[in-house]
Amino acid sequence: MPEASAHPRPAPRARVTLHPDFRRGAVDRRLFGSFVEHLGRAVYTGIYEPGHATADSHGFRRDVADLTRELGVSMVRYPGGNFVSNYVWEDAVGPVEERKPFLDLAWRTVEPNLVGTDEFLQWAEREGVEPMMAVNLGTRGVAAAAALVEYCNGEAGTRWADLRIANGRVKPYGVHLWCLGNEMDGPWQIGHKDAHEYGKLAAEAGKAMKLVDPSISLVVCGSSSMQMPTFGEWERTVLSYTYDLVDHVSMHAYYEELDGDRASFLASGTAMDRFIDRVVASADAVGAERRSDKRITISFDEWNVWYLESRFPGEANLPIQRDAPRIIEDVYSGLDAVVVGDLLVTLLNHADRVPVACLAQLVNVIAPIMTEPGGEAWRQPTFHPFATTARLARGEALDVRVEAPSFPTSRHGDAPVVTAAATVDDDGTLGLFVTNRSDQVVEVELAHVGAALRLTEGWQMVADHVPAVEGPDHAAKVAEACWSAVDVASAVAPAAGGTTTLRLAPESWTAFGGTFARA
């Protein structure tokens, strides 16, 4: 973005205030989850490719696993997504040579069933990520869901647990977090239901699953997006059946730049912020009517930039395909990465009510990691803000006060030019994340009250105009043009009287690491 013009506008100014005593809540590590669905090349030639030069003895790509670790992913949701709503998990356990392919109707793809529950859970265990499983409440129901929990978590001596043992895995996997279906409000979902049908089924399936293993936590499906015509009413109805049983209600949201409306796209974090507030209000209204002290929290188990309306033809228009077709492999820009960074700011600012979130997805499908079959694996621009936030955001989220001018957007009304989130660990380690959504440099006065602030590292993503083409070369060009270390000494004016001045590049997302400790 050009900084200079014939009639330069005065640089907007903003003030961000940090106080060590003003806190929102602990940052749950599960906020840095991701998602692997049997969709396109997420599994086959994504995490799994037996013939690949880096494949381990189980057929999983080491290069992808290494990037997953570098990304800082804490948890991975599996196996869908829309895919789960017609999945027969029993067909993908046991001897691989006896498994039969099936036609997945969600993505109109022949699923070879080479990777199933055991392969995924063992991969997750080897890579040190927590699995989050979903059960099929589209074409199936209570019995299959309870059987899957028993297969995963049961001790020897009952049918499904013994099947797992016969398949070579003695120790229960201990999967803790379970989704009761996926996007059941969506007419595209195989086995789509209205809120009463789904609420009753989710309550019965969840009850049976918890009878198998009372230690599990359940996620009930909220709306697929805030634009759904049933939004609000759906949450109220579904929670009226499941409030006492579940821990979380799900949220899904994807953002994209539509019709060249860059301002609205840059304000996506504001839309996410309002969406969270509304779902929290809906859940609390159900709790209030029940005079319940229980608080339902959010599992934001699908979020990302996805060019859904502008690039995706729709599931029903996909031809039937096999052999890991390329489906929704969006190529990201620096601008997309700035928005992803800003969405992370929003999530951190809701740490008290959002303990779980999954960047959808992990590899190849709208993903931070891309691969070529038989070839390289590489980082998309969106990789960097996620990895940096997962690394620097530790401990508790501070209740950061931001005073900033706003700018008009056609989709989300007025939105603040600057957003910020901060975290502090017990030892005073600070993570600070700031977005400048304006097309001008913004000067931010960083007021630090009650503790001494020291910034020791900084990383910045700026929006770019590098044309999007597929492949590692593009990702490398964007990274070179848009992602850089901040020279902390020159970016940050010396502290004076408890304030520090940050100069933020136009359309940028910046992360700082440092300390914020009382003397």
Counting contacts by CB under 6 A, is residue 301 touching ligand AHR? no
Of 412, 436, 473, the closest CA to residue 339 belongs to 436
Minimum distance between the CB of residue 305 and ligand AHR, rounded to whole angstroms? 12
Q: At what angle do helices 62-71 and 117-127 cross, to 10 degrees?
A: 60
Q: Which is nearer to ligand AHR, 285 or 318 (CB)?
A: 318
Residue with tokens 């301002």: 263
How many residues interact with ligand AHR (rule CB under 6 A)? 9
Q: Which is nearer to ligand AHR, 127 or 315 (CB)?
A: 315
Minimum distance between the CB of residue 44 and ligand AHR, rounded to whole angstroms? 16
Q: Which is nearer to ligand AHR, 61 or 77 (CB)?
A: 77
Report residue 351: phi and psi, to 5°.
-55, -25
Residues 344-363 that bind ligand AHR (CB under 6 A): 360-361
Segment near ligand AHR (CB under 6 A); pick from 7-15, 79-87, 238-246, 508-516: 79-87
Question: CA separation (Å) from 175 to 68, 93, 243?
Answer: 20, 16, 21
Counting contacts by CB under 6 A, is residue 150 touching ligand AHR? no
Looking at 40, 79, 81, 416, which residue binds ligand AHR (CB under 6 A)? 81
Instruction: Clarify whether 302 is annotated catalytic.
Output: yes
Q: Which is nearer to ligand AHR, 302 or 464 (CB)?
A: 302
Counting contacts by CB under 6 A, is residue 183 touching ligand AHR? yes
Segment near ligand AHR (CB under 6 A); pick from 78-86, 89-97, 241-249, 395-403: 78-86
- How many Å apart are CA 247 and CA 216, to the nearest integer? 10
Q: Which is nearer to ligand AHR, 12 or 80 (CB)?
A: 80
**Which residues fall within 8 angstroms of residue 9, CB to CB, at 6 or more apart?**
440
**Which residues fall within 8 angstroms of residue 519, CB to CB, at 6 or more apart?**
451, 452
Residue with tokens 């692997």: 36
Counting contacts by CB under 6 A, is residue 302 touching ligand AHR? yes
Counting contacts by CB under 6 A, is residue 368 touching ligand AHR? no
Minimum distance between the CB of residue 56 and ligand AHR, rounded to whole angstroms? 26
Instruction: Clarify whether 127 is annotated catalytic.
Output: no
Strands (E) across 437-507 are located at 442-448, 452-462, 483-485, 499-504
Longest Cα–Cα distance of the chain, Å, equals: 79
Minimum distance between the CB of residue 275 and ligand AHR, rounded to whole angstroms? 15
Q: Which is nearer to ligand AHR, 87 or 433 (CB)?
A: 87
Is residue 358 within 8 Å of 302, Cβ to Cβ? yes
Minimum distance between the CB of residue 303 and ligand AHR, rounded to whole angstroms? 10
Residues 227-256 that bind ligand AHR (CB under 6 A): none
Counting contacts by CB under 6 A, is residue 80 touching ligand AHR? yes
Strands 23-26, 356-359: pairing kind: unpaired
Strands (E) across 221-365 are located at 248-255, 297-305, 356-359
**Which residues fall within 8 angstroms of residue 430, CB to CB, at 6 or more apart?**
422, 423, 424, 453, 455, 512, 513, 514, 515, 516
Report residue 17: phi and psi, to 5°.
-115, 130
Q: Which of 37, 302, 396, 507 is catalytic?
A: 302
* Cα distance from N-terminal residue to C-terminal residue, the chain: 41
Is residue 505 within 8 Å of 379, Cβ to Cβ? no
Looking at 17, 109, 113, 182, which residue binds ligand AHR (CB under 6 A)? 182
Counting contacts by CB under 6 A, is residue 37 touching ligand AHR? yes
Q: Which is nearer to ligand AHR, 182 or 242 (CB)?
A: 182
- Binding residues (CB under 6 A) for ligand AHR: these are 37, 80-82, 182-183, 302, 360-361
Question: Which residues are the active-site residues?
Answer: 183, 302
